[in-house]
């Protein structure tokens, strides 16, 4: 393999964003006709690196060489001209047009007659057929894109990339929304491409898949290069170890709580949406912190939103303190003394133009109107201010005043204010969805302390997190989900990062029980 | 999309209005209009030669307009009572595109008469040509007249319209009369008639002729004039006129000698503002206000003495005249002033003119008309 | 507002509209000093009164993050409804010939009730059927106008502008207490009531929350459907009251009343600082927005400037106000 030419080389790339060093002197060599896997935890810098290679970001330091020539990409068009293409996780084809128009959009073949450019459909069709034959794709060029499956849309994107003369194709989590059969089809096309000396950079969390398809593996961690290896020298354990490889420090408060009896139990929860959670059962005890791990698309958020009454549940039961309850809306959940700190702070948490005070008291005030009005018409200013101030002080929220609009606070302070909102209703069950995402270390510790304190008081906490250390450091038990299914619950003493990663990427097992039917339908 | 939606809504309204009205008095006599029409046409088939029902398609410019609403109802009533000619109508909703569609629909249906309350004044000749091709009778109703050439080319073409400029002239002449008989009318003593002109909609035909001919009539009488406030556009709205006059009054209280409004609603708004400003409570603080339309509330004001004059364009006369023209031509008779035989209706060739009637305190009871009156002969 | 460094530019930004208004009043007063009189003030306030009510209704909707195009036509409908129930027995084309003369509270309540019903209709279309508010209320606008025309065309009225109102009814629109017109008192009373509701009650806080971020509000246990229904119905009530007062003020009513009032109201709200995105808006700002437009209307007519200029000035004010607003937020982002 060493004799192959290096087609893309990235040398000591660094990239910073305000407050974060996303990439620190990362280098990467991709050889022609190979599949080069890029791996790492969420936030390790994979996507940033690829966006640098594709001209979306401009590196602060470092150089990029294509075929040994030093290049600077001003934009993605530039990168495509140099033979680099990227297929994003989320595809955005023009759904109301047909396949061939999607491929040639922006450079539609035309004939000029009488000074007018007429679309040359025949040439377009012929060129598409030629391209598809070359790749071994069997899609009708005249098919409407809205009729295509996700995997076919992906093939369409690949064909488009090849039609631009791509020599390097970056694929970001290409199989995340594909079934096994569809993935097989994708792998076949990938092999076809490598045979034609095209290089693939393959970003994936699925270790088995990577071991099977890739020639080389590069692993990043915390924005730094861990190393590059020949795939044959690697195995699952090695990969996980090198991806994780972090030393655990004392970033978490002392554990003082002791799980007691069951607070809430969910049985066979199933979403009406077939792509969402299915048959999930779990329990959370009083005085327990239950962690929920999984990869992007594991449907953890959806599951918890359903428990909180924000989403519909098709089947399954929820028991609180042993009694079955039905929860159709958040207000009912709140009545059962549940609270949910949502994942997207900006979109579903803060009410940006309202004051810190308004934001803190809003939930409690709606749940307990009398407490704020004393049965009269008007709200008690004093009570509102007291309540808000209590949490501004105890969480040391940095704000110019209670009347300041919350949008002007930093992310961490917004998050603490939202926690205050939920503390105010005095919940027995607190659900936290990625509670420390995008906030600084100090604020993180305060949030951890609060969780610890809640548990110590005999309350229950459920925490969804994609950050391994916090998941392991805080949870008594960890429930791992994969693609809407529960893939395992790990007791505290058995938790290892490897085990979590293993369960989270356990696509096969999770799927095999229910999705046997319709396997061969997609092939051809 | 928007237009479609609108059509739908309007369509529904029309359907409902049919139902709604059948419960009310004027159409009670003909609770089952279609049956009756059908019956009479059956009778006719036995006697008449063609055997076909005579149908007139009418495009009104806007059903929501008070005047049109009354004219429309009268025409329907008359047709139902007489049963010689069946009337079907459509609403242009004050939009030329709608009018064109409605007109084409009627022509496609092969109507015998097309009555057009035309608002597409730029395309009169084109419309005349279209009518000639269709071979049906065309009646332009209450609108600009086709040219002489148009009449020369098609002897099935008629105009039935009020003499619009007359409405302006009536207001002007009334003000001249008042000015000449009341020396105190020149309130600031500058020898000029300082007037406020309340306009409807800038490009609207009625607004143009009413404002222009009223002023012309006063100037012709040798009275110097001075406009206060320039072009005051109130879109025929009572509230807007009230607000504008109120503002003008605050500044030109002692200057304003007369207020000319292009319809009664605006005139009444002006009167409301004058009343609030302390006018009309005694003999000597009077400012003459003139309007057009002789609406019920307008006539009340005339009676009360606050509105100096208004001009009646009688919707009943209009519709009866339209029907009479159809009736005469259908039976092969010539349309003349004599054969029409209606008060205030003069025929000039194929042009049938209806006079505006001046309504002042002396003859206010003559402003009444009855849309249930179906006697057109 | 946020930082401590309030430089001149910020000051200009924050008070630009007030500055423009003061300059305009100054200019008009220079041309005609009579402008600075009690009479003019009373006039402007009276003319603003019904528009303030419509704008307050509109503010509820805008603050709750929605839109309403039906306001103007509701004013028209309720003016006709109120007028048709407030005629003297002597009037010879009485709308409801058999109806006895009733105390004026009847037509007022009828108008408010009709407004509330239309509001409920809007609310169901928007909050339950999830029709985009813009389209739903455009639909309502047409339906309401159609219904009004049908009602108005009923025999014996046959689309004649309504007249012959009871003295007590007209008095409501033209009378005063110690020189302060009833209309102004009612409008200010409503403004204060709305202000209290908005700032002092749970409902007010919840309306702001729904407008500011409906999902966050829902997560916080607020019943978004209920809140939207209430805002539309409250707005309807205010439109209804405005329609009724419009009839008392002009001494008449017809189906064309209220035409495009909703657009004036929306403009007043935005100029008065409501965010088109929802969640922001104060009663004071909205009242100011209405006043600035009415001062322009009145002032320019007052000095005898043609109506055409009023359109131009009004249009420019809207654009300037929104441009400043956008800049205010852009600067802080």
Q: What is the pLDDT of residues C225-269, one digit of tens each?
A: 999 999 999 999 999 999 999 999 999 999 889 988 999 999 999
Residue A345: the pLDDT is 82
Cβ-contact C154, B288 below 8 angstroms? no
Is the Cβ pair C219, A352 closer than 8 Å? no
Contacts of C216 in chain A (CB under 8 A): 342, 347-351
Is the Cβ pair A379, C201 closer than 8 Å? yes
Most confident of A259-273, B198-212, C317-331: A259-273
Q: Which of A187, B276, B273, B278 is nearest to B289 (CA)?
A: B273
Contacts of A377 in chain C (CB under 8 A): 200-201
Every domain of chain B and the residues it spans: 53-161+314-355, 165-312
Is the Cβ pair C301, B12 closer than 8 Å? no
On whether residue A494 sits in a domain, the answer given is yes
Taking CA atoms, what residue in C is nearest to A306?
C219
**Mind listing the pLDDT tens digit for each residue in A187-196?**
988 998 999 8
Contacts of C201 in chain A (CB under 8 A): 373, 377-379
Which two three-digit tokens encode residue C186?
Answer: 């009612």
Summary mean pLDDT of chain A: 86
Instruction: Report the residue count for chain C.
Output: 333
On whether residue A257 sits in a domain, the answer given is yes
Residue C46: the pLDDT is 93
Q: Are residues A239 and A292 in the same domain?
A: no
What is the dihedral sign for C-alpha A295, A42, A437, A493?
positive
Is the Cβ pair A353, C275 closer than 8 Å? yes
Q: Are residues A432 and A515 in the same domain?
A: yes
Question: Confidence class of residue A442 from pLDDT cuts 50, 70 and 90?
Answer: low
Most confident of A232-241, A365-374, A432-441, B240-249: B240-249
Last residue of a domain, one of A244, A271, A291: A244
Cβ-contact B224, B191 below 8 angstroms? yes
**Mind listing the pLDDT tens digit for each residue in A68-118?**
899 999 888 889 889 999 987 667 778 778 898 888 887 888 888 888 888
Question: Confidence class of residue A204 from pLDDT cuts 50, 70 and 90?
Answer: confident
Q: Are residues A293 and A375 in the same domain?
A: no
CATH number of the domain encompassing residue A186: 3.40.50.300
Taking CA atoms, what residue in C is nearest to B263?
C161
Residue A441: the pLDDT is 62
C285 inside 8 A of chain A by CB? no
Q: Determine what percent of chain C is predicted with pLDDT higher than 70.
A: 96
SS3 B61: coil
Is it true that the peptide bond before A75 is cis, omega within 30 degrees of 0?
Answer: no
**Mind listing the pLDDT tens digit for each residue in C281-302?**
999 999 999 999 999 989 999 9
Residue A304: the pLDDT is 94
Substitution target in C148, C159, C170, C179 with the highest count of B β-carbons within 10 Å is: C159
On whether residue A184 sits in a domain, the answer given is yes
Is the Cβ pair A408, C218 closer than 8 Å? no
On whether residue A155 sits in a domain, the answer given is yes
Residue A226 pLDDT > 60 = yes
- Chains B and C: 3 or more CB pairs within 8 Å of each other: yes
Substitution target in A310, A366, A404 with the highest count of C β-carbons within 10 Å is: A366
Residue bearing the bigger pLDDT, A460 or C12 = A460
Which two three-digit tokens encode residue B335?
Answer: 């349309």
The alpha carbon torsion through B39, B42, B46, B47 (nearest 10 deg) reads 60
Q: Are residues A221 and A192 in the same domain?
A: yes
The tally of CA atoms less than 13 A away on the side-chain side of residue B237 is 19
Which domain, by its residues, includes A261? 251-337+428-442+458-524
Residue C258: the pLDDT is 92
Q: Are residues A333 and A364 in the same domain?
A: no
Residue A371: the pLDDT is 86
> Tell me, what DSSP letter sits at residue B117?
-
Q: How many domains does chain A have?
A: 3
Question: Confidence class of residue A181 from pLDDT cuts 50, 70 and 90?
Answer: confident
Q: For domain B53-161+314-355, give the CATH superfamily.
A: Response regulator (3.40.50.2300)
Distance in angstroms (rounded) separating the CA atoms of residues B63 and B48 = 34
Chain CA centroid to CA B340, Å: 20
The alpha carbon torsion through A318, A320, A322, A324 (nearest 10 deg) reads -40
Q: Which of these CATH numbers, 3.40.50.2300, 3.30.200.20, 1.10.579.10, 3.40.50.1980, describes B165-312?
A: 3.40.50.2300
Residue A150: the pLDDT is 76
HEC per residue, C93-142:
CCCCCCCCCCCCHHHHHHHHHHHHHHHHHHHHHHHHCCCCHHHHHHHHHH
Residue bearing the bigger pLDDT, A134 or A168 = A168
Instruction: Among A315-319, B65-69, C172-176, name the one with the lowest average pLDDT.
Output: B65-69
The tally of CA atoms less than 13 A away on the side-chain side of residue A283 is 11
Is the Cβ pair C302, B251 closer than 8 Å? yes
The tally of CA atoms less than 13 A away on the side-chain side of residue B3 is 6
Residue B40: the pLDDT is 41
On whether residue A266 sits in a domain, the answer given is yes
Q: Are residues A188 and A86 in the same domain?
A: yes
On whether residue A343 sits in a domain, the answer given is no
User: What are chain B's partners, defined as 3 or more CB pairs within 8 angstroms?
Assistant: C
Is the Cβ pair B238, C254 closer than 8 Å? yes
Contacts of C143 in chain B (CB under 8 A): 9
Substitution target in C31, C140, C155 with the highest count of B β-carbons within 10 Å is: C155
Is the Cβ pair C332, A408 closer than 8 Å? yes
Last residue of a domain, one of A216, A244, A272: A244
Q: Can you name the CATH fold of C8-332?
A: ABC transporter involved in vitamin B12 uptake, BtuC (1.10.3470)
User: Is 0.80 topped by the overall pTM?
Assistant: no
Residue bearing the bigger pLDDT, B38 or A238 = A238
Contacts of B234 in chain C (CB under 8 A): 307
DSSP A437-486: TT--HHHHHHHHHHHHHHHHTT-EEEEE-S-HHHHHHH-SEEEEEETTEE
Which two three-digit tokens encode residue A142?
Answer: 């005249």
Q: What is the mean pLDDT of each run of 10 residues along chain B (377 residues)?
A: 44 38 34 38 42 87 82 92 92 87 91 91 87 92 89 92 91 96 92 94 85 95 94 91 94 94 94 92 87 90 94 91 94 92 90 93 88 83
Instruction: Among A229-238, C13-22, C146-155, name the one with the lowest average pLDDT.
Output: C13-22
Cβ-contact A331, C223 below 8 angstroms? yes
Q: Are residues A365 and A328 in the same domain?
A: no
Two domains, one topology: B53-161+314-355 and B165-312: yes
Every domain of chain C and the residues it spans: 8-332
Question: Confidence class of residue A157 from pLDDT cuts 50, 70 and 90?
Answer: confident
Residue A466: the pLDDT is 81
Is the Cβ pair C43, B247 closer than 8 Å? yes
Q: Are residues A164 and A233 in the same domain?
A: yes
On whether residue A134 sits in a domain, the answer given is no
Residue A413 pLDDT > 70 = yes
SS3 A29: strand
User: What are chain C's partners, defined as 3 or more CB pairs within 8 angstroms?
Assistant: A, B
CB-nearest to C142 from B9, B236, B268 is: B9
Q: Which of A225, A202, A222 is nearest to A12 (CA)?
A: A225
Chain CA centroid to CA B171, Å: 16
Contacts of C212 in chain A (CB under 8 A): 351-354
State the alpha helices, DSSP H only, in A297-394: 300-307, 330-335, 356-367, 369-373, 381-394
Last residue of a domain, one of A228, A244, A260: A244
On whether residue A27 sits in a domain, the answer given is yes
Distance in angstroms (rounded) separating the CA atoms of residues A279 and A296 = 19
Chain CA centroid to CA A6, Å: 31
Residue A53 pLDDT > 70 = yes
Strand ranges in A115-242 using DSSP code E only, listed in sequence order:
116-119, 168-172, 199-203, 216-221, 224-230
């Amino acid at each position: 393999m060493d004799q192959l030419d290096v087609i893309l080389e990235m040398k000591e790339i660094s990239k910073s964003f305000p407050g974060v060093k996303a990439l620190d002197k990362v280098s990467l060599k991709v050889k022609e006709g190979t599949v080069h896997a890029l791996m790492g935890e969420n936030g390790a810098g994979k996507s940033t690196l690829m966006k640098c290679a594709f001209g979306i970001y401009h590196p602060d330091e470092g150089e990029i060489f294509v075929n040994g020539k030093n290049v600077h990409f001003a934009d993605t068009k530039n990168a495509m001209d140099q033979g680099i293409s990227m297929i994003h996780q989320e595809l955005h084809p023009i759904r109301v047009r047909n396949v061939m128009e999607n491929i040639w959009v922006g450079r539609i073949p035309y004939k000029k007659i009488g000074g007018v450019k007429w679309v040359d459909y025949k040439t377009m069709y012929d060129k598409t057929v030629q391209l598809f034959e070359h790749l071994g794709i069997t899609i009708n060029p005249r098919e409407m894109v809205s009729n295509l499956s996700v995997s076919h849309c992906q093939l369409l994107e690949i064909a488009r990339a090849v039609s631009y003369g791509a020599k390097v194709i970056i694929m970001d989590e290409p199989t995340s929304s594909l079934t096994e059969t569809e993935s097989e089809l994708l792998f076949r096309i990938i092999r076809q491409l490598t045979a034609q000396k095209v290089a693939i950079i393959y970003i994936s969390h699925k270790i088995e898949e990577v071991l099977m398809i890739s020639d080389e593996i590069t692993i990043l961690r915390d924005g730094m290069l861990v190393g590059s290896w020949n795939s044959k020298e690697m195995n699952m354990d090695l990969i996980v170890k090198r991806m994780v490889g972090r030393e655990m420090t004392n970033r978490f408060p002392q554990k003082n709580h002791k799980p007691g009896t069951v607070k809430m139990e969910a049985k066979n929860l199933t979403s009406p949406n077939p792509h969402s959670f299915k048959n999930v059962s779990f329990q959370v005890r009083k005085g327990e912190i239950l962690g929920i791990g999984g990869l992007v698309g594991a449907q953890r958020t959806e599951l918890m939103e359903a428990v909180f009454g924000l989403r519909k549940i098709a089947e399954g039961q929820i028991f609180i303190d042993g009694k079955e309850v039905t929860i159709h809306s958040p207000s009912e959940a709140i009545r059962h003394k549940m609270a949910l700190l949502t994942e997207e702070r900006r979109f579903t948490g803060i009410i940006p133009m309202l004051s810190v005070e308004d934001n803190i008291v809003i939930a409690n005030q709606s749940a307990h109107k009398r407490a704020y009005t004393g049965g009269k018409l008007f709200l008690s200013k004093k009570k509102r201010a007291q309540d808000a101030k209590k949490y501004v002080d105890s969480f040391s929220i940095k704000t110019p005043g209670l009347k300041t609009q919350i949008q002007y606070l930093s992310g961490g302070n917004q998050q603490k204010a939202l926690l205050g909102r939920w503390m105010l209703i005095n919940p027995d069950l607190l659900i936290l969805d990625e509670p420390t995402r995008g906030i600084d270390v100090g604020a993180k510790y305060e949030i951890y302390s609060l969780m610890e304190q809640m548990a110590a008081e005999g309350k229950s906490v459920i925490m969804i997190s994609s950050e391994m250390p916090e998941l392991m450091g805080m949870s008594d038990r960890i429930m791992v989900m994969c693609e809407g299914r529960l893939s395992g619950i790990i007791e505290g003493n058995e938790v290892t990062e490897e085990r979590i990663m293993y369960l989270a990427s356990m696509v096969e097992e999770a799927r095999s029980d229910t999705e046997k039917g319709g396997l061969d339908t997609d092939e051809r | 999309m928007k237009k479609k939606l609108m059509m739908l809504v309007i369509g529904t309204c029309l359907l409902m209005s049919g139902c709604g009205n059948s419960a009310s008095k004027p159409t009670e006599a003909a609770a089952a209009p279609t049956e009756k029409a059908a019956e009479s046409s059956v009778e006719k088939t036995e006697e008449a030669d063609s055997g076909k029902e005579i149908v007139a398609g009418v495009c009104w410019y806007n059903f929501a307009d008070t005047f049109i609403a009354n004219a429309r109802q009268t025409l329907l009533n008359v047709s139902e009572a007489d049963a010689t000619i069946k009337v079907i109508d459509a609403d242009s909703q004050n939009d030329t595109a709608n009018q064109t569609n409605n007109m084409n629909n009627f022509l496609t249906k092969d109507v015998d008469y097309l009555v057009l309350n035309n608002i597409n004044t730029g395309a009169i000749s084109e419309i005349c040509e279209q009518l000639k091709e269709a071979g049906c009778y065309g009646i332009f109703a209450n609108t600009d007249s086709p040219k002489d050439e148009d009449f020369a080319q098609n002897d099935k073409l008629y105009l039935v319209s009020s003499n619009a400029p007359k409405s302006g002239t009536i207001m002007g002449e009334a003000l001249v009369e008042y000015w000449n008989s009341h020396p105190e009318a020149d309130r600031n003593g500058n020898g000029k008639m300082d007037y406020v002109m309340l306009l409807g909609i800038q490009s609207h035909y009625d607004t143009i002729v009413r404002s222009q001919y009223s002023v012309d009539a006063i100037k012709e009488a040798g009275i110097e004039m001075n406009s206060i406030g320039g072009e005051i556009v109130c879109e025929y709205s009572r509230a807007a006129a009230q607000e504008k006059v109120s503002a003008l009054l605050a500044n030109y209280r002692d200057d304003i000698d007369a207020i000319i409004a292009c319809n009664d609603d605006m005139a009444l708004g002006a009167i409301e503002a004058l009343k609030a400003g302390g006018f009309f409570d005694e003999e000597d603080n009077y400012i003459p206000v003139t309007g057009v339309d002789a609406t019920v509330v307008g006539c009340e004001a005339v009676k009360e003495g606050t509105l100096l004059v208004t001009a009646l364009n009688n919707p009943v006369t209009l519709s009866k005249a339209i029907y009479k023209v159809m009736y005469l031509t259908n039976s092969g008779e010539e349309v003349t002033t004599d054969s029409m035989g209606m008060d205030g209706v003069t025929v000039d060739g194929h042009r049938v003119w209806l006079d505006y009637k001046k309504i002042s305190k002396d003859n206010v009871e003559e402003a009444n008309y009855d849309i249930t009156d179906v006697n057109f002969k | 507002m946020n930082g401590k460094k309030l430089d001149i530019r910020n000051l200009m930004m924050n008070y630009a509209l007030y500055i423009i208004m003061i300059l305009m009043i100054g200019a008009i007063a220079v041309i005609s000093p009579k402008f600075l009189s009690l009479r003019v003030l009373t006039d402007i306030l009276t003319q603003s009164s019904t528009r303030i009510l419509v704008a307050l209704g509109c503010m509820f909707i805008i603050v709750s993050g929605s839109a309403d195009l039906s306001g103007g036509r509701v004013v028209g409908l309720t003016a006709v409804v109120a007028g048709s129930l407030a005629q003297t027995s002597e009037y010879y084309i009485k709308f409801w010939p058999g109806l006895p003369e009733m105390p004026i509270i009847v037509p007022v309540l009828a108008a408010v009730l009709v407004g509330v019903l239309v509001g409920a209709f809007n609310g169901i279309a928007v909050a339950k059927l999830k029709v985009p508010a813009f389209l739903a209320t455009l639909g309502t606008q047409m339906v309401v106008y159609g219904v009004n025309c049908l009602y108005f065309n009923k025999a014996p009225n046959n689309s004649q502008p309504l007249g012959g109102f009871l003295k007590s009814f007209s008095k409501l629109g033209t009378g005063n207490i110690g020189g302060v017109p009833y209309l102004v008192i009612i409008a200010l009373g409503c403004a204060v009531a709305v202000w209290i509701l908005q700032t002092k009650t749970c409902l007010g806080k919840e309306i702001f929350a729904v407008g500011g971020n409906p999902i966050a509000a829902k997560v916080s246990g607020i019943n978004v459907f209920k809140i939207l229904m209430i805002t539309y119905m409250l707005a309807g009530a205010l439109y209804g009251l405005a329609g009724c007062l419009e009839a008392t003020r002009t001494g008449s009513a017809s189906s064309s009343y209220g035409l495009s009032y909703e657009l004036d109201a929306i403009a007043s709200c935005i100029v008065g600082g409501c965010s088109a995105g929802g969640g922001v808006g104060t009663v004071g700002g909205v009242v100011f927005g209405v006043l600035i437009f009415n001062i322009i209307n009145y002032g320019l007519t007052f000095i005898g400037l043609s109506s055409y200029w009023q359109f131009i000035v009004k249009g420019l004010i809207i654009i300037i106000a929104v441009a400043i607003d956008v800049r205010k937020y852009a600067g802080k982002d």
